[in-house]
Chain A
Amino acid sequence: MIWISQIIRIIEFQYSISFQIVEVAITTLMALPSFINPLVPYLVLLGSFMINYKISSSNEIIIYKQYFSKNEFKKIYQVIIIFIFGIYLINNEFISKNFYEKYKNKELEIRNNLKLGSPAQNEFHIDDIISIFFDSKLDESFFNISAIIFKDNQFITSDSVEIELTKEDLNLVFHNGERLILNQNEKSKTIFDKFTFTLSDKKLEKLFMDKDHYNTYELVKHSERDFRNHGHNKIVNYILLIIVSLIAQNIVFFYKNKKNNIFEFSSIFLIFISIQIINSYLVYTLNNFNFFGLTIYYIINIIIMVSAYMISLKIIK
């Protein structure tokens, strides 16, 4: 769902879509490993609710309980959880980092190169730099043009405009037209055969290294404070996954005769959502206030998570 919304978001950015939808889909697919990371504990929780519902509704749980001891259950479950934790760890530290870098480069390329096909509604806008309105299009040329260059208030009408793309620049070459400039310093009108407007790479979007470009170790060792805090947040998420897995172990084999478990499950889910909100607040405090240190951050988080574990156990006892 997040993947699909990313595709739609990127497509909407360009007001256009054509044959490159597959390219957009593949590009955004590369961001999925990093999108999934913060959600894994909740997916484990939801998964355990679903397994419980499945085996309870078909009464399989009664049969399992008759044939297996509690310890045997736990052993099978622990193998599964170690497997999930391993995948989470590999994804968090290696896969998502590499894929995110590729995703960002590709996304940037798509946006900068206007590679999403011909703009719909016969117009296209490059940020707050230029707006171009046209009647028809053939390959990379647009015809019967009216264009507004917002810097210096320039207005252009021309027979055509060609888009030339170099590695660093984007050139818009206008042919046979007139240019009107209206601003405080200049009022002029010129007639031209050829006029080139260049968008240098400074004006195009640049790739910024954000937190998803780094793994936990690199984040913790980073020079910027919020990057370091994000690294510690990732460590807390590992602890959260362990706590959630321990709870999930009890949820899977929770059985109440002919009773709906929706109240118990929603309460547990709400508790863990609250933990995420509190943790986010703690990260926010870490980023913005000097009095709040890492030790307090870890202590508060561990106290909250252990309490959540105890309360959840009580709910499904």
Chain B
Amino acid sequence: MQRSAVEDLRRRVERLAAPRRGREALPFGIEEIDRALPGGGLAVGALHEVAGGGDGAVHGAAAALFAAGVAARTRGKVLWCFTRADLFAPSLTQVGLSAARVIYVECGDDKTVLACFEEGLRHQGLGAVVAEVARLSMTASRRLQLAAETSGAIGIAIRRWRRQTEAADFGQPTAAVTRWRVTALPSAPLPVPGVGRARWQLELIRCRAGESADFVVEACDAKGRLHIPADVADRLLAPQARLATA
């Protein structure tokens, strides 16, 4: 009874909200994550924010690969805007984003990054547009969100600060549809000495029309897909399975 009332309200709110073109989403292919996102995946034609946790707020390595993994699963070219040119292109190829698809734009300051980001989002025919910025105001993010809605490209803002103390800025509200934080976790233990497959703590901090959640995942594979680690998967899916059979 109560559930249907909530559903009813949700539908009314959706109808009131500005009609958006194409409500498609790009699924992660992991049921657990897709279930937490309205539409069953990362909304296409929308702005998303990603930041690294801990030291990652400064170097943003995991955040960049997470964004690259998403971009790899889209169609068409990808635009990548930044001010610090320290991205190492071979690593993007290793998560499935081939070098021929990515166009890099090296900007002098954050303002230019945002301008180029918006220009890319307005352009029809790009699969994804990624920008590395420190500050993202409400006004700027709303412009970007509207631009993304017109073209249907996925916009990913990698929030990357100069100092870790500035990362408190990530608490400020923006118009982005989802907000993620990716933190490196110790890799999967191997029976022999060596570094196993990288693991991330993936936090969905904010999600429009959804609830926040966090996951432990194995980093992008050669096609840009995340995986749930086998040991964690057993633990998490077991109660669901019980519910389903009951």
Do A and B share a complex? no
Mark B residues whose CB is within 8 Å of A. none
Mark A residues whose CB is within 8 Å of B. none
